[in-house]
Amino acid sequence: MLSLDNSYNEADLKDFDRKARQLSKLDIITYCVEPKFDGGSISLIYENDLLARGATRGNGVAGDDVTINIKQIRTLPLSARFSNYGLQQVEIRGEVLMNKNSFKKYNDALVEKGLAPLANPRNAAAGTLRIKDPAEVRRRSLEAFVYHISDYTLLPGKEVPEELTTHAGSLKLLWDLGFRSPVKEMRVFDGIDAVIQYCLEFEEKRDDLPYEIDGMVIKVNNFDLQDRLGMTSHHPAGPWHLSLKQGRVPANYSM
């Protein structure tokens, strides 16, 4: 599970776009932009339409098997009809979150018991995934957003569905199957200037979101083009994934 490359200003984004256009030999790149959720990273495996395994990111190569706890999260379906799209096995990446209201209630309960409150929702979500009591996991009202289909196996005789030719299409597929994906928050743009404008607009309403984000993620929308642009050993390169981080850029450009 690779990390994302980071950017902190408009110049980085334009350089990101310039390199992508040079490598692809295209005049304009189509991007998908979405929030970067601030929670605990997870990998989910669905086999024959059933949730088979859930794991944490760990060190990026090996994580903890948290399948039992993952099954306590109401926003993750225990079954989904991937077979309707010709898919036998699917790996999905996502983020487990505790929304702001649930986090406040949980911290208030800790304080009432004379215990120290947790520092932030991300720590609360990540820590909850590793506890040994599934009933307690269920009581903490975790949520999960899924944002990437990282691998899949087709059923015999089936072809890749149209939805899996683009990142935006894959998010819509997940949404239609009952997952919470950022369909409502994502936008698809031709060219980097519109991407930058959307990031600025999203910043204005970031504090009103029910969950924490720590930036925006900008992705080359077409999967074939992503493959052509490639990746390094640490993060996707080319570049086709970029995380625009909060709080380290000038003026009001703090995503």
Which residues belong to the active site?
36
Pairing mode, if any, of strands 40-47 and 87-97? antiparallel
- DSSP string covering 168-232: HHHHHHHHHTT---TTTT-EEEESHHHHHHHHHHHHHHGGGSSS-EEEEEEEESBHHHHHHH-B-
Helix axes 100-112, 121-129, angle to 10 degrees: 80
Residue 64 sits at the vertex; the CA angle it makes with 38 and 130, to the nearest 5 degrees, is 65
Q: CA–CA separation, 145 vs 149, rounded Å?
A: 12
C-alpha torsion 126→170→75→42, nearest 10: -20
Give the closest residue to 131 by CA, choosing from 56, 212, 201, 200. 56
For residue 44, give Cα distances in angstroms to 94, 105, 255. 8, 28, 28
| 118-121 CB contacts, 8 Å cutoff, 24+ apart | 120/212, 121/38, 121/39, 121/97, 121/211, 121/212
- How far apart, in whole angstroms, are the C-alpha atoms of residue 221 and residue 30? 6
Phi then psi for residue 23, to 5 deg, are -70, -35
